[in-house]
Amino acid sequence: MIDTRLRARWQPLVRARRRAAAERQGLVVHTRARFGFSAGAGGSDDPRHRLLTALVPGEVARELFSAWEAGAPDRQYLMILGRALGHVCFRAAGRRADTLQVSLREVDFIEFGLA
């Protein structure tokens, strides 16, 4: 599913220019998916659906494109995006909940845009 969305968005004639912009400026990720958590005592680890829109850094775009070029399975994309969205959204870019681990599951939809 994520592979299909990336391929549809990054058309051959504009791929290099958009990829460079994504790797430089980051990607806007808009998704509705089930997120699960593992954290210290007192936290809830029950997975639940969330609607998120977040800017992820260019390093994440590079990881996604590398995985795409290598023919990665969806679970690898989910791992990359779960880690990135966990950092940006749930750990506030390292300002809180530093032990929280986020997993991304059951993607209802996902869209990518340039920052």
pLDDT (tens digit per residue) in 25-44: 999 999 998 877 665 555 55
pLDDT (tens digit per residue) in 48-95: 788 889 999 999 999 999 999 999 999 999 999 988 988 887 665 555
Whole-angstrom distance between the N-terminal and C-terminal Cα of the chain?
22
Q: Give the pLDDT confidence score for residue 24 in this predicted structure.
A: 96
Q: Give the pLDDT confidence score for residue 68 in this predicted structure.
A: 93
Q: Give the pLDDT confidence score for residue 3 in this predicted structure.
A: 76
pLDDT (tens digit per residue) in 96-110: 656 667 778 888 999
Break the chain into its structural domains and give their ranges: 2-40+48-114
Of 75, 102, 66, nearest in space to 87 by CA: 102
